[in-house]
Amino acid sequence: MARKVIDGAQTSCKMEASMTNTHQFQTEVRQLLDIVIHAFYSDREVFVRELVSNASDALEKLRLKQLTQSAVYEPERELRISITTDEEAHTLTIADSGIGMTEEEVVEYLGTIAHSGTKKFLEAMKESQSGPQDLIGQFGVGFYSAFMAATEVEVTTRSWQPDAKAVKWTSDGQEGYKLEDAPADTPRGTSILIRLKDDAQDFAKANRLRHIVGKYSNFVGFPIDCNGEHINTVQAIWMKNKKDVTPEEYEGFYKFISHTEGTPLSYMHFSADAPIVLNSVLFIPEENPEAMGFGRCEPNVSLYCHKVLIDSKPENLLPEWLRFLTGVVDSEDLPLNISREMLQDNSLLRRISGIITKRFIKHLETLAKDDAEKYENFWLQFSRYLKEGIVTSLEHKESLAKLLRFESTFTEPGKLTSFADYISRMKENQKDIYVLFGASRAQLEHSPYLDALTARGFEVCFFTDGGDQFVVESLMKVDDKEIKSIDRANLDLPPLEHQPDPPGLDENEAKGLTEWVSARFSDFSKITTSDRVTSAPAIALQGEHDISPEVKAYLKAMGQPVPENHPEIAFNPHSPIVQKLAQLRTENEELADLLAGQLINTALLRAGMLDDPAKLADNSQALLEKLLSK
């Protein structure tokens, strides 16, 4: 087989051949081999992956030859990869029944390394400050990676061509190699016998090899045997047409890659040919591991190329907020380095990440539309990840907003709605989306902030999870509808069609009251009377530049300086208590002062703005003492 042992590099090199058929490597080639053997791989086990991948390539090329050539040596021979271990002899053999090599091809592909490429590499090595790992993207070793674990490598090969003879190639990877005829009965394909170094003899253990194949090469498209046992039994379903994969196969594949006995809540299987060739299957687990107390979960989507594992936990393959997913991404377009351990082009990885993320968001949109119950189950488990995505992922923020679910004043307790449904129910005179934040629906339903909205027939969204305020405020708008928190003073509402009963303070009474209160309580940006409140005597409204209680608590917890807030106090001019306050300010100013303080501190407490609850307690005690002393 024209086995490409140097991935992506052309092969040519000067050799000196003696009468004994021994070929000498050139000095620069020996230098390159020394780097390959001692510096290129962070984990020696990947040489098994390289050789199995090469064997798979050889089998694939033989399969193509069988389609185009009428005469193929041993046409009946099964396409298979065989691994044999011998602990006593300290050897490992990886063989295939693929395309094989002629003597000329052995010399070309096993006996030479790109001379010009070698010189460039060695020159780059001299200039590099970080070592070979950052330079290997331009060079491949494939077959030569075997010398990381070998004292000697023996290759026996027989080409697919009927009249070709079998050849044996032997080298210790130091000075050169020996080429000789192999037995005439050598079967088609290639067998690589590795005599292992003293510190690499665990590679002669069958269990070790099964583990390595399971880790890197389990999904190779040909059967792999280890000492006669078929070991790659799970198919690479992501490479199949999803119409040809049964639900049972998806479930079995999920159990295999997740190492659990659970079933996925949902899965997405997609392929793309442009702008990047991608094949992927991603699973949503039934339960959120982080919610079960296991801490922050690690990404579990592996990166493959041609069904060979490149990285089981690649950084930046998916954004952090998708770390709950399990699955596989396979791309033929990946530019890989010499060991397939590092990606050359981070920009390509970002493009792959963008494509997959957009596809997954579309999958969730479809799930929400076609199976609302299943999507609601997903939301209850994984909503915080999507909210994290809204805060951290600017490019996906708008599409993620459509996936948010929440309760509202128009839904029954426990029933969720969406921004799309909310917008469809908006009144003709309503231009904004109204939201309210709190600890629970029960608490929010008793909020005095609802008064003005309820009176106008406007729906209010309830957000009750910690961090929701960060999420919603980062959105700012949905479908060109601005999101407004109803506890803000600058809320722009249309006038009420009907004034509430009983009649409130007249204009002069209201002005006198607000001026009097303002003179005594100077910490507020404004004191007003307003139809924003009807059920309570007064409410505290956040000023335009005030920070929310949630942000304030966050800054305190982080040890950051907290800017002062100057909220607005709005009195209810129709409240009997407020009307009594307006009367007392001229009749009993001391009592009026205590009553005003009580109303203001209560409003601040309900708004989460009262920094010192003792103020309310002290004021309450003083007010009671004043009333009881009469």
Q: What is the pLDDT of residues 464-498, one digit of tens each?
A: 998 899 899 899 999 999 999 999 998 989 888 77
Secondary structure (3-state) at 402 = coil
Contacts of 562 (CB under 8 A, 6+ apart): 547, 552, 555, 556
Is residue 88 predicted with pLDDT exceeding 70? yes
**What does the pLDDT average to over 24-28?**
66
The two three-digit tokens of residue 177, written as one number: 């190699």
Task: Answer whether 106's CB lies under 8 Å from 169's CB.
Answer: yes
Structure confidence at residue 113 (pLDDT):
55
Averaged pLDDT for residues 413-426? 97
pLDDT at 546: 78
Q: What is the rounded CA–CA span in Å between residue 138 and residue 344?
A: 9
Range of weakest confidence among 9-23, 208-222, 510-524? 9-23
CA 47/CA 32 separation, integer angstroms:
17
Q: How confident is the model at residue 25 (pLDDT cuts 50, 70, 90)?
A: low
Identify the three-state secondary structure at position 406: strand
Residue 104 pLDDT > 50, yes or no? yes
Element (DSSP H or E) covering residue 45: none
List helix spans (H) across 339-412: 346-370, 372-392, 397-401
Three-state SS for 98?
coil
Indicate the SS3 state at residue 212. helix
Best CA proximity match to 24, nearest among 109, 143, 111, 104: 111
Among residues 240, 286, 514, 508, the alpha carbon closest in space to that of 382 is found at 286
With residues binned 3-state (H G I as helix, E B as strand, rest as coil), the percentages for the chain, rounded to 5, are 40, 20, 40
Give every CB contact of residue 324 below 8 A, 6+ residues apart in sequence: 284, 285, 288, 289, 290, 297, 382, 385
- Give per-residue pLDDT as tens, 223-253: 999 999 999 988 899 999 999 999 999 999 9
DSSP SS3 for 226: strand
Between 180 and 298, residue with greater pLDDT: 180
Mean pLDDT of 278-304: 88
Tens digit of pLDDT for each residue in 33-46?
777 666 655 678 88
Q: Is the pLDDT of residue 102 over 90?
A: yes
Q: What is the mean pLDDT of residues 291-312?
A: 84
For the cut 80, the answer to whether the pLDDT of residue 13 exceeds it is no
Q: Which residue has the higher pLDDT, 44 or 398?
A: 398
Residue 601 has φ and ψ, to the nearest 5°, of -65, -35
- Evaluate if residue 3 carries a pLDDT over 70: no
At residue 499, what is the residue type? Q
Reported as a pLDDT band with limits 50, 70 and 90, residue 5 is: very low
Residue with the bigger pLDDT between 4 and 150: it is: 150
Residue 335: pLDDT band by 50, 70, 90 thresholds? low
Q: Answer yes or no: is pLDDT of 10 > 60.
A: no
Reduce the DSSP state of residue 296 to 3 states and report it: coil
Between 327 and 126, residue with greater pLDDT: 327
pLDDT, tens only, 138-152: 334 578 888 889 999
pLDDT of residue 8 exceeding 90, the answer is no
More confident residue, 414 or 292: 414
Residue 37 makes CB contacts below 8 A (sequence gap 6+) with: 144, 147, 148, 173
Number of helices followed by number of strands (H, E) in the chain: 18, 23
**What is the mean pLDDT of the segment spanning 19-25?**
67
Q: What is the pTM of this model?
A: 0.76
**Residue 213 · residue 224 · CB < 8 Å:** yes
Q: Does residue 18 register a pLDDT over 50?
A: no
Token readout for 301 is: 């989507």
Mean pLDDT along residues 387-408: 96
Q: Is residue 116 predicted with pLDDT exceeding 50?
A: no
Which helix H or strand E contains 83, and what residues bound it? strand 81-86
622 token code pair: 């003083």
Token pair 């009649």 is at which residue?
503
Average pLDDT score over the chain: 86
Where does 111-242 have alpha helices with state H? Answer: 115-127, 206-212
CA dist 66 and 61 (Å) reads 9
State mean pLDDT over 426-449: 94
When pLDDT is averaged across residues 564-586 and rounded to a whole number, the result is 92
| Mean pLDDT in residue range 385-390 | 96
Instruction: Please report which helix (H) or strand (E) contains residue 32, including its range.
Output: helix 27-39
Select from 338, 340, 15, 36 the least CA-distant residue to 169.
15
Report the range of poorest mean pLDDT among 3-7, 236-240, 437-441, 616-620.
3-7
The two tokens of residue 608 are 């989460």
Q: Identify whether the C-beta of residue 360 lies closer than 8 Å to the C-beta of residue 322.
A: yes
Q: Is the model's pLDDT at 9 over the cut of 70?
A: no
More confident residue, 173 or 456: 456
The percent of residues above 90 in pLDDT, for the chain, comes to 61
What pLDDT score does 1 carry? 40
